[in-house]
Structure 1
């Protein structure tokens, strides 16, 4: 998914072209970039297709569009998801596939280890371990150098298309923040996910730190989307909602306490609380006027998530 980071996108595409295990295809979602990102992607040898969106629908909309296009139009069995500031090392895909093959089961998600430019593991992208995982599950993961996880970020994950067809697409209306938490936790509620440290990517954010560091206007998305996650999504069970909900409130308090713009953040938080009273707009509605509209309908229909009126009208 690309939006106005042309130079970083070039590095991402070069990284994909340099994979020891070559990629089978690359779909770039150009989220209405104005810096020539789409043209750069079209000219790159590794790219199979560039889908030009007519407006910026955020990371959530972009990832939903890309996953839908990959599984519906390109009939992918596995979808490797990443952002345009993610640079995969040459062995990243090979390591994900090796872990998938070695595990005595079928993981729905395999997540790479994301590091910053100085080699430190990026705190924004550390997958959450699966609480209460059985000894057998833990041992099976450890035996191949991996770890059982409950959720992951979109920075570099390998998705099994069967899980996508069964559970649908990310919530595009999240726009940004927590869309990956909601989606991966939804896919992994009753499935296996693995963190694969041998698969390494660079996540070249401007600064090193977690997402709560100086959120600014994005605090609105943090609050609204988390409330949507806890009240509207099937991703978490009741105990997990209480656990993660409590942690989120504590993080919000810590973020406000550390901020030099407390009044501004409180305004964003209030808007988020207010807007969370309405349910997210369905993904097929958010992406209705885009090139992937039919792909989205196919996936959502397969998952039983397409509205009855939409399903009746085809």
Structure 2
């Protein structure tokens, strides 16, 4: 499927990555079908699902679906890389990245398309209507004493959507409603598939901002999360490895001074020294392996490099 053309009209591709969440995916697709601004294509990357995802997708004749079924689970990062690459190469003007556990309000895409900006972010809420937008107002890669680079987020700054201004500049995003024009990909490249999960969206946002762009979160672009927002993971488990490794990669690639780029080494040392009182050897093993592997990822790979 190729992008439609027409004077004064921008085409838009929606990219969804899904893995074994067919029932949640139904709600997301229902939300897209109800949009007042119809997407030109919906690219769905199925990450080797083993549930009834294929049947759900086959039944959706109401949407312009392009389904890519991967034989392997590429992770969220690999899925968004593949979906974005597909939409970019088909010539779409804007690409909207959304997750399978979210549902857009009927006018969400219309609000985004009405904004003449290269990089946009929705503002997420939960099923109760509470603001849960975690995009950072400040993502600090300059201060070596900042234990966590995200020092302020939308939902830590504003108590509700009503208290927000119409636009808020943010410094990182989640691929749960982020939109970019193709000119951004021309200049900064595609999402990096080597992250597998976690921080691929942060990495892309840093690259976009370093190209001179502002990322605007639009108050009136509403996306509803279907699951609880829980980013607390077992740091001694497999997700903990990726959280450590990918956080370290962001510091190694984009730290604004030597001390910030050394933070991963200091964190590794601290976790290893404290491991006897933090749960034993598993987290220490994760963090040391993460540090070793992050060092090998400190350059943006060719698969994510600029397209021209």
Please report the TM-score for the alignment, with normalisation by the length of structure 1: 0.73
Q: State the shift of 1:33 in Å.
A: 0.9
Residues 245 and 290 in structure 2, CA contact (< 8 A), matched pair in contact too: yes
Alignment of 1:83-162 (within 5 A): 83-98=99-114, 100-101=115-116, 107-122=117-132, 125-129=133-137, 145-162=166-183
Distance 1:243 1:227 in 2: 8
Return closer, same or farther for 1:245/1:201 CA change in 2, 3 Å cut-off: farther
Could you tell me how far apart the structure 2 residues matched to 1:195 and 1:269 are? 33
Change (3 A) 1:201 1:239: farther
Determine if the alignment matches structure 1 residue 212 to structure 2 residue 248.
no
Which residue does 1:296 correspond to in 2?
none
Deviation for aligned residue 1:214: 3.9
Match of 2:67 among 50, 72, 90: 50
Aligned to 1:276: 294
Q: Give the corresponding residue for 2:217.
A: 195
User: How many Å separate the matches in 2 of 1:92 and 1:241?
Assistant: 41
Within 5 A, what are the aligned runs for 1:145-294?
145-189=166-210, 190-205=212-227, 207-209=228-230, 211-215=231-235, 216-231=237-252, 233=253, 236=254, 238=256, 242=260, 261=279, 263-279=281-297, 282=301, 284=303
Answer yes or no: is 1:26 the counterpart of 2:42: yes
Match status 1:66 vs 2:83: yes
Give the structure with the larger helix fraction.
Answer: 1
Query: Aligned residue pairs: how many?
Result: 261
Shift of 1:97: 2.0
Find the counterpart in structure 1 of residue 19 from structure 2.
Answer: 3
The structural deviation recorded for 1:38 is 2.9
Shift of 1:242: 2.9
More strand by share: 2
Q: Which runs of 5+ in 2 are unaligned?
A: 1-16, 141-162
CA distance in 2 between partners of 1:157 and 1:230 (Å): 22
Closer, same or farther: CA 230–237 of 1 in aligned 2, 3 Å: closer
Change (3 A) 1:274 1:244: closer
Give me the whole-angstrom Cα distance separating, in 1, the residues matched to 2:21 and 2:87: 22
